């Protein structure tokens, strides 16, 4: 039986004042029951945690319509608590299934009172377990799909089949495992691709690659074919995708994939753009997208590095968090140095770009190695690492970055905070900072202060009527590029002209080297 259509659950936040609508802390979540056709004021609160105002949660109704499963989160950690509510009992209260944040737990589905969870408990690469609500203690859990050498990035229960999306050296592989038991079957999707599972389906998938935009595939046991063939302005057969390994300062070898025209062994001393952004379904994987133009023909080279968090082994995830954050910057710098050493490009022709957490990355590596790059575009970046926790959902990021109010975490954050490590007198590349006036995730003040303080040919673009990381629909309808003034193809030379300078109160920032307690950064808005 499908989910009842007469109801769904919302997670509203208390309304902030007009002055602080885009800056107020996100706290005091409520999970509510909403009936279609009734006003929101009539919603009934199903679950709330006034004792933990910064915990967030969401609800999922099981396919049989019997249970509401409540997923509790603290910060951006993958660890979860799970509660369940029996919707067939009007007076029932949510009951704890997993009442501690000790591991990741994702509800996949149920068969009666037997719940199936994707978890990394005692399985860093994830496994699927069965929990009987009559005896939910961990000693009674039954492993349905064991941990393997590859990480399970995404999973779902479609009918009587588990659909598992594995991450093998940052490329997707899909397998089907019968709920009743039996051998797994591989789904013949294109290799070296990013794969997203279709909703509640064992035969429909979204696939994208370095030479293919996201395409919907429909699969049979024998073959997979695009449901709607995509017409491209180039011939994918002219390119070949390879995998390489780049060693960083810590000597860790990161798997990367490259796509290069078959006719070109190298693009010597070519202008390229190094691009990073967060992929929605790759769970914070970093995509390094290098764009090249040669002899009038567009060529592309792409490198994709695995993330150091989310659906990656816990030891690897922790290697890029908190006190280990410098490893992330070292990996990116190593990828840029590899491109130069292999004669793909040179520093004056290498441009970098990143958004959100990737904007932080661009700002940090610019401070550490300004001579390595020819141009940079940090977009909606977290630039003030000493105050990020004071606005909207920033407090949730302390599980990744650390807490700037903690003296030990502060000493680490102040060493790489883009705003506080701008090097006076250093020659920075041409830089364009982008943000949006309605960004309520990374408030635009991060970009404003960074742009004002940076000693470089600087351009800042502030998108209006837009939020975090997306241009407004108006711009799309106008047919404009992502950044006006920059051609859609990558030019051999990229020039950004200084057109904006910040207010003097931002331009002269006092160098912060020691933890000043709760007053840190108070003088700067």
Contacts 24+ apart (CB under 8 A), 239-246: 239/210, 239/211, 239/300, 241/192, 241/209, 241/210, 241/211, 243/169, 243/192, 244/303, 246/303, 246/305, 246/331, 246/334, 246/335, 246/338
From the list 464, 449, 463, the residue with the least C-alpha distance to 387 is 449
Beta bridge partners of 116: 109, 130
**3-state secondary structure string across 438-465:** CCCCCCCHHHHHHHHHCCCCEEEEEECC
Give the sign of the dihedral formed by CA 361, CA 457, CA 271, CA 463.
positive
From the list 515, 521, 518, the residue with the least C-alpha distance to 407 is 515
Active site residues: 356, 468
- Per DSSP, 278 falls in state B
**CA pair distance 465, 372, nearest whole angstrom:** 35
How far is C-alpha 495 from the geometric centre of its chain's CA atoms? 29
Note whether 78 and 104 are within 8 A (CB).
yes
Token look-up 């975490």 returns 409
Token look-up 């700002």 returns 363
From the list 233, 287, 292, the residue with the least C-alpha distance to 260 is 292
From the list 109, 96, 143, the residue with the least C-alpha distance to 123 is 143
**CA pair distance 116, 499, nearest whole angstrom:** 56
Note whether 389 and 395 are within 8 A (CB).
yes
- Residue 8, CB half-sphere, CA atoms under 13 Å: how many? 7
Alpha carbon of 154 to those of 101, 168, 268, 324: distances in Å?
A: 20, 13, 39, 26
């Amino acid at each position: 039986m499908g989910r009842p259509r007469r109801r769904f659950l919302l997670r509203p936040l208390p309304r902030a004042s007009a002055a602080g609508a885009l800056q107020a802390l996100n706290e005091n979540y409520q999970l509510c029951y909403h009936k279609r056709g009734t006003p929101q004021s009539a919603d009934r609160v199903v679950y709330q945690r006034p004792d933990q105002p910064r915990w967030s949660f969401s609800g999922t109704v099981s396919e049989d319509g019997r249970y509401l499963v409540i997923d509790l989160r603290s910060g951006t950690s993958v660890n979860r608590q799970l509660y369940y509510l029996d919707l067939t009992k009007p007076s029932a209260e949510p009951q704890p299934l997993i009442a501690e944040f000790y591991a990741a737990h994702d509800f996949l589905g149920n068969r009666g009172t037997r719940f199936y969870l994707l978890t990394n408990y005692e399985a860093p690469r994830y496994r699927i377990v069965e929990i009987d609500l009559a005896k939910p203690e961990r000693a009674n859990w039954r492993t349905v799909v064991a941990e393997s050498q590859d990480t399970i990035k995404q999973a779902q229960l479609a009918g009587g089949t588990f659909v598992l999306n594995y991450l093998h050296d940052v490329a997707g592989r899909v397998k089907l495992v019968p709920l009743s038991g039996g051998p797994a079957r591989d789904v013949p999707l294109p290799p070296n691709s990013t794969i997203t599972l279709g909703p509640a389906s064992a035969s429909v998938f979204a696939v994208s690659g370095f030479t293919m935009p996201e395409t919907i595939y429909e699969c049979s046991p024998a073959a997979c074919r695009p449901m709607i063939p995509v017409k491209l302005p180039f011939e994918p057969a002219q390119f070949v995708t390879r995998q390489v390994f780049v060693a960083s300062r810590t000597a860790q070898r990161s798997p990367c994939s490259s796509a290069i025209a078959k006719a070109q062994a190298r693009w010597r001393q070519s202008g390229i753009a190094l691009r990073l952004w967060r992929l929605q379904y790759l769970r914070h994987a970093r995509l390094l997208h290098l764009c090249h133009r040669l002899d009038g023909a567009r060529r592309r080279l792409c490198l994709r590095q695995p993330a150091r968090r989310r659906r990656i082994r816990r030891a690897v995830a922790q290697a890029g968090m908190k006190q280990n954050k410098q490893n992330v910057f070292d990996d990116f710098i190593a990828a840029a140095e590899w491109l130069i050493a292999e004669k793909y490009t040179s520093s004056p022709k290498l441009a970098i770009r990143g958004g959100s957490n990737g904007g932080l990355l661009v700002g940090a590596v610019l401070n550490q190695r300004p001579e390595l790059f020819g141009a940079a575009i940090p977009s909606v970046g977290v630039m003030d690492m000493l105050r990020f926790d004071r606005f909207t959902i920033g407090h949730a990021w302390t599980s990744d970055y650390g807490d700037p109010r903690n003296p030990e975490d502060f000493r680490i954050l102040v060493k790489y905070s883009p705003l506080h490590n701008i090097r006076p007198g250093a020659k920075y590349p041409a830089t364009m900072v982008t943000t949006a006036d309605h960004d309520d995730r990374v408030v635009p003040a991060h970009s404003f202060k960074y742009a004002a303080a940076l000693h470089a040919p600087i351009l800042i673009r502030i998108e209006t009527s837009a939020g975090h990381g997306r241009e407004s629909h108006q711009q799309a309808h106008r047919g404009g590029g992502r950044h006006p003034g920059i051609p859609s193809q990558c030019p051999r030379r990229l020039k950004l002209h200084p057109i904006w300078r910040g207010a003097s109160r931002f331009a002269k920032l006092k160098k912060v080297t020691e933890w000043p307690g709760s007053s840190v950064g108070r003088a700067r808005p």
